[in-house]
Structure 1
Amino acid sequence: MKRGINILRTRSRIELINDTLRAIAGNSCRCPAHSPGLSNSSLSPQHRHVSSSDNISTDYAYEVASSNVRIGRGATREVGKDLVNRGVKRVMLFTDKNLMLQTPFSATEKALRDENIEFDVFSEVRVEPTDYSFKEAIDRAQLGQYEGFVAVGGGSVMDTAKVARLFDMYPEKDFLDFVNQPIGKGEPILRQLKPLICIPTTSGTGSETTGMAIFDLKSMNAKTGFSNRALCPTLAIVDPLNTLSMPKNVAIYSGLDVLCHACESYTAIPYYKRSPVPVNPMLRPAHQGRNPISDIWAVEALKLINKYFLRSVDTIEDEEASAQMSFASVLGGIGFGNAGVHLCHAISYAISGSVRKFCPPGYSPDHPIIPHGLSVIMTAPAVFNEIGYVEPDRCIQLAGLLGARINNIKTEDAGRCLSDHLCKLMNKLDIPNGLSALGFSPEDIPMLVKKTLPQERLTKLSSNPVTPSLLESIIHKSMNVYN
């Protein structure tokens, strides 16, 4: 067994803890009691004391939320006992039709049977779910009188399970009641949801750690979603053996999703610049802007991507690389699950929601599809070229973390440095050359801009103020990436 299979080495664990403590210490309050000569008004917003009489316009606190996460080779076998420990005897088991024939699903089935857990299989999950496919799962969940839920699959499977679990407890609610504003009402989730255990089979979405569920709203031909900490799975079982069966393109696009999660969360606006201030802490959004904790997860994820991503797709059977990319997905998920992502993801929802005929090798759905990771990376070079103007230091740091030479990079070249490095990586991975290769033309730019603008949950986290002209420029430059 390769030594690298031990994903969370003792040294790495200690380094991560130390980094966390240093970050928290660096963000500690420097109030007059601890720093003589400083007045409260002289402090930056994240350090100010806040009283009920303060008239503040931006937030002053951040939260860190995630699923409980278990990581280990062969840990899938424990899922039955996990349900027994929670007093759950009957579950709805989510997967897709392809995975039903593969080892991760059969291992889960065995673990449930070994503990006499009764289960019904829902395999009608749609790759890149729609409101219709979500509603089909909701109907099944509400009829089944289940005590819990288990999801075995990628982001589409896990997101479908999250939404079915939500409406199992809210049968009286309309589908859009919990969907993100302004498309939905964005209502808070106040009831305790039943246990959900997620077992990911891809290394990318991070859905096993987050409170998000994304779908295509067919009436708008655009993506939107649910976003609430209450949707976080009860437990994520991250078993590196479950990702060894990914087709090459699935591994590539999943890895690119992790990369964008980390880069976008690291360059999102700081939490102390986000507004409005919640009138109740339960209304603080899950995506609240970058913070010292999310920064650590993003940086650690990118270190792993730089070292293991190309290995993991060049040789799918490379168990060490696969394990480390699973770990990167978890770290990236916790990071962006609390900080949020911005323009790459916001525009990607318009791109994938407007697919016409495209379907890449390695995917076999009964409908055209632009996989999520592919739609996200399409605009990344253009996005980070723009982000470089307002976050030059962070863009240079990101380029360095991904292996670029950053010695003597000038501030004005920060965005281009990161953009060029992303283009080189995309070229190595044989990514289609821009939106034109996915079936779009310059005539589609106004439509893509129009579909991006409602994604306010994401666009408001951009450090570049989002305008139609900025989006037009980014999308135009993304028509052909390798110029």
Structure 2
Amino acid sequence: FDGFIGVGGGSIMDTAKVANLCSTCPADFLTYVNAPIGKATLVPGPLKPLICIPTTAGTGSETTGVAIFDIVKMHAKTGIASRAIRPVEGIIDPENTRTLPPIIAACTGFDVLVHALESYTALPYNRRLAPENPRLRPTYQGSNPISDIWAVKAIEIVSSNIMRVIENPADDASRSQMIMAATFAGIGFGNAGVHLAHGMSYPVSGMVRGFKPAGYPLDYPIIPHGMAVILCAPSVFRFTAAANPARHLEAAQLMGIEIANSRIEDAGEILAGLLVSLMQKTGMPNGLEAVGYTASDVDKLVEGTLPQHRVNSLSPRLFTVDDLKKLFLNSLRYW
């Protein structure tokens, strides 16, 4: 092949990235997969041109050097992160999202929102340990002045438009705004990274048993990525707000509320409350219980979160195994 084109949602675009990598630089599949699941070997050279055309307003994969996938036999969700797999071009056309079912518009919209919120609240770049070798510089740098520009705008756009595209898929203006926000957030988190909500979401999706979302056009169990992320996000932001309450309160303001009379110590609760309210309005499940998990699953969910070093290391607040257990328990039910 002279190059690759990925047309679809995040899974399709990420598949195109991995196909490009594996065909251009052949190796055992786990060679390039993120540690500790894989070897995290550096990509040895440039790949073939890849053009990505998103058909959902969600992942922002057309902008990033990250590919996420399930390793089914391990019940693990992981990925490959390298600047080498980033597409050379993304074609962003809202016409490609016109027929999205409302449930997919909601799930992918929440993915955009949490991408932006996490990159805005991630560990700052100047607090991240520098690698010994510049070639080992991670794809994700932590929140920084450049990523903030993209995250801020994405939070504002999604908060103003997500309900409109769910309630009226024919609203061309709002669909245009949402797919633009997905790209903005992709540029932001592709630079800064995401943190605990995404780290926790991977085992939530990877360990799915029987849950099938109403209205989702698939005949097998699935917890869509954006759904898994938002089911964890309120508990995460309640927890991480202590590390930088001002920034979490600013994020709530970007979502559209007045914060002049808000107490800084309530930042996490305020931001979490906004997310829970939006979950209710969009018909998201009421926590992890609603998608089939119970307190007895928490240890396994924690076990699946711990290997996600690429994103967990960007949590603005240090956490322990016990903290993760509490976060999952707090995510079982929200209202």
TM-score with structure 2 setting the length: 0.98
8 Å Cα contact 2:25/2:44 also seen in 1: no
| 1:224 match: secondary structure | strand
Match of 1:167 in 2: 22
Match of 1:93 in 2: none
Task: Indicate which of 115, 121, 127 corresponds to 1:261.
Answer: 115
Deviations 1:162-213 (A, max 9, x none): 0000011122x11011111111111111222111111100001000100111
Task: Indicate which of 69, 86, 95 corresponds to 1:215.
Answer: 69
Task: Indicate which of 219, 235, 258 corresponds to 1:405.
Answer: 258
Match of 1:285 in 2: 138
The CA distance in 2 between the partners of 1:335 and 1:279, in whole Å, is 25
Match of 1:368 in 2: 221
Counterpart of 1:347 in structure 2: which amino acid? M
Match of 1:106 in 2: none
Identity %: 50
Larger Rg: 1
Match of 1:194 in 2: 48
1:7-86 correspondence to structure 2 within 5 Å: none
Give the RMSD, CA atoms, in angstroms: 1.0
| 1:361 match: secondary structure | coil
Match of 2:12 in 1: 157
8 Å Cα contact 1:459/1:466 also seen in 2: no
| 2:36 match: secondary structure | coil
8 Å Cα contact 1:169/1:191 also seen in 2: no
The CA distance in 2 between the partners of 1:438 and 1:238, in whole Å, is 32
Relative to total residues, which structure has the larger helix share, 1 or 2? 2
Structure 1 runs (4+) greater than 6 angstroms displaced: none
Shift of 1:366: 4.2
The CA distance in 2 between the partners of 1:403 and 1:164, in whole Å, is 41
Number of residue-to-residue matches in the alignment: 335
The CA distance in 1 between the partners of 2:313 and 2:227, in whole Å, is 23
The CA distance in 2 between the partners of 1:366 and 1:161, in whole Å, is 24
8 Å Cα contact 1:344/1:383 also seen in 2: yes
Deviations 1:53-101 (A, max 9, x none): xxxxxxxxxxxxxxxxxxxxxxxxxxxxxxxxxxxxxxxxxxxxxxxxx
Match of 1:240 in 2: 94
Shift of 1:364: 2.9
TM-score with structure 1 setting the length: 0.68
Match of 2:165 in 1: 312
1:83-482 correspondence to structure 2 within 5 Å: 146-171=1-26, 173-275=27-129, 277-482=130-335
Q: Which structure ranks higher in relative contact order (CA pairs < 8 Å, sequence separation ≥ 6)?
A: 2
| 2:334 match: secondary structure | coil
The CA distance in 2 between the partners of 1:352 and 1:379, in whole Å, is 11
8 Å Cα contact 2:57/2:105 also seen in 1: yes
The CA distance in 2 between the partners of 1:362 and 1:211, in whole Å, is 31
| 1:363 match: secondary structure | coil
8 Å Cα contact 2:76/2:202 also seen in 1: yes
Shift of 1:363: 2.3
8 Å Cα contact 1:435/1:478 also seen in 2: yes
The CA distance in 1 between the partners of 2:210 and 2:330, in whole Å, is 22
Shift of 1:412: 1.2
| 2:52 match: secondary structure | strand
